[in-house]
Each structure stands twice: as structure tokens, then as C-alpha cells.
Amino acid sequence: MAKLRLDQLNGALRKRLAPVYLISGDEPLLVQEACDLIRAAARQNGFTERELHHAEPNFDWDQLLTSANSLSLFAERKILEVRIDNGKPGDKGGKALTSFCERPPEDTLLLVIMPKLDGSSQRSKWFKAVEKVADFVQIWPIAAPQLPRWIDQRIQQAGMSASRDAIEMLAARIEGNLLAAAQEIEKLKLIAIDGQISAEMIAGAVADSARFDVFSLIDKALHGDARAAVRTLQGLKGEGTDATVILWALAREIRTLIQISHAMQQGQAFDRAAKSAGVWDKRKPLVQAATRRLKLTQLQMLLRKANGIDKAIKGLRNADAWDELMDLTLNLSGTFSLSPSVQKLTLAIT
């Protein structure tokens, strides 16, 4: 079996078709595009029929082998596509995949799509049987530092060019959602003048969502602007934004600050610690200001507070989640009211 990166797949398909392809990854857009490449190459080689199976818990794996060994009434060759959403084929699925790979039918191409496979799965008997005949494409997520480059490449593939500010603005707006980025680039193709994309064009054309407003709340808190942060929080509440979404964003930022602060205590420079934590260059001043304002012990108390809010949202504590989100936002902004004793008493009472 050949182990391929996504950028190697197209070249490999031009040379030959493997009898089996295993696509593994957690990034929907990239997984979909890998599958599209395989299907297109297969169609060019006469695999004109496609049969899709979703291997859910009660899936009958005998269907797979029966279909593989049966002649099609409509095409000489077919693609047999199996989606295993939980990444675990189980004993029956493992045996079926092993059986198929021992004697792959010449008129059938098997395409198996799964989430990211862990080490134990790649040591399993079924995987070892598959890897003897399959091309394995493992899709890795695009890390935050690589996202601007990925966006730039997509824009160039669409026949356009963008300024650095425009690319960074789009990266900030889509917050790692590659599917959203691809959709926004398609929209920009309709309005770009001479294929040029500017930051002003991004600001006017790319839709802001409540999700972006949540991150706007975070930035205002990091900046230490408690009044603006509270106003944004109240606006999100009035718009019906789920408290869980806001808590997730606040807790994520607090964890990032804890990671950076801990690294700095160990002697790392801020820039290196921020890069390791996946902080965008344009957000570094905000994050650095927050690490100067908030001590590591204070951040750890804020994270405990966030855990308590999570319990309140789930009904496990008798407390108003929105009031506590307000308190958490104020404290992150620098209006600090928590101390170890107060925090312990609050969680004990409620």
C-alpha cells in the first residue's frame, strides 16, 4: 500500500488506480475533495456506477461482499463506497474488509472513508490486510499557522490573488472552518475586480456570524475593555446565542492563556509560546496584554469558574449561567473579583 498525502493523490491517480482506497481524516472539505479525485479518476477508467453504504452499528457487512461479487446490470465496473463514521468496522466489518482485500474483484473499486485512525486501529488485523492492496490517504487538519497559506493557495487556484491583510482577515473570520473558507472564496469570485481581493472587499463581502461576534467578545475582553465586552455579551444573549457556545469560546481562550503563561514561566519567550499555542500574529498583542494583566493562578481560577458555569448550564448547579458568564467576562477583562476562597465558597454554595 502507498501512504499518500492529499497533495500526492492526484499524481498517483494519473499513474494507476489501486483496487482499494482508504481515506482517513476529520476535515470534511479535504476528505470530500480526496474522494472526488478518486471518483473522477475511476470514472475515466470505466467505473461508471457508484454504490454507497453507510456502515452504522447494525450494518450487514455481508451486503458488501455480495455486492462486490455480483455483476452490475448497468455498468461493467463500479465504485463500492463504504463510510464508517465511527472509525470502527468491528469484528464483522474487519472480516469483510479482509476478505475483500484478499481477492479484490477486477471490476470493483472499494473506497473506504473513515475519521482519523488512531495507532491501535492501524495495528489491527483488518488494517494490515487493507494496507497490502490499498492506497491510504491520511487527511491532516490545517493548523492555525498554516491556514493563511492554505487560503492563499485556494484563492490562486480560483484564478485570483489577495493581499496579505485580506488573507489574514479571511482566516480570522472563518476560524479554521475550511468549508466556510471555500464557500467565501467562491462568493469573492463574483465580485473581485480583475481577480484582485483586498481587505476592504473581505470586510464588506464576507458574512459575519454570531460565531464571529463571540470571538469579538473574546478580543474585547483580552483588550481589557470590560464595558464593550459586557455590551457584546448582552447583545449575544438578546440574539438568542447559546450560552454553551460563549462558554466554549471563553474557556478555550483561558486555556490558551494558561498554556502560554505556563510556558513563559518555564523560560520560553512569548512569541515562541504563542506560536506553539496557535495564536495568530495579529492577535499576539491582545494575548500578550492579557498575559501581562492576568497571573497564572488567576487564569487557573477562571478555568475553574468556567467548569462551574458548565455545570450550571447542564442543570448540575443551582446558578444563573448568564450571570456567571458576565462575571467570567469581567474577570477576563481585568475587573477581577475572584479569589481562591471566594471561588471555593461560590462553588460549594451553588
Q: What is the pLDDT of residues 266-293, one digit of tens each?
A: 999 999 999 888 888 878 999 999 999 9
**Average pLDDT, stretch 12-35?**
93
Give the Cβ contact number of residue 79 at 10 Å: 21
Lowest-confidence pick of 39-43, 235-239, 303-307: 235-239
Percent of the chain with pLDDT over 90: 47
- pLDDT over 50 (residue 339): no
User: Is there a contact between 210 and 173 (Cβ–Cβ < 8 Å)?
Assistant: no
Percent of the chain with pLDDT over 70: 91
Please, what are the domains in the chain? 2-139 (3.40.50.300), 144-205 (1.10.8.60), 210-349 (1.20.272.10)
* Strand 134-139 to 196-197 pairing: unpaired
CA angle 307, 312, 313 (to 5 degrees): 95
Predicted confidence band of residue 343 (pLDDT cuts 50, 70, 90): very low
Arithmetic mean of pLDDT over the chain: 86
Residue 173, helix vs strand vs coil: helix
Q: What is the pLDDT of residues 299-310, one digit of tens each?
A: 999 999 999 999
φ/ψ of residue 89, rounded to 5: -70, -20
Amino acid 74: pLDDT: 57
Counting runs of H as helices and runs of E as strands, what totals does the chain give?
Answer: 18, 8
Strands (E) across 75-133 are located at 77-83, 108-114
Amino acid 134: pLDDT: 93
Q: What is the pLDDT of residues 53-107, one digit of tens each?
A: 888 878 889 888 888 777 655 557 889 999 998 888 989 999 999 999 988 888 8
CA angle 323, 236, 330 (to 5 degrees): 45
Amino acid 342: pLDDT: 40
- Model's pTM, two decimal places? 0.58
Return the residue matching grid coordinates 480560483.
Answer: 158
d(CA 225, CA 229): 6
Lowest-confidence pick of 6-10, 14-18, 54-58: 54-58
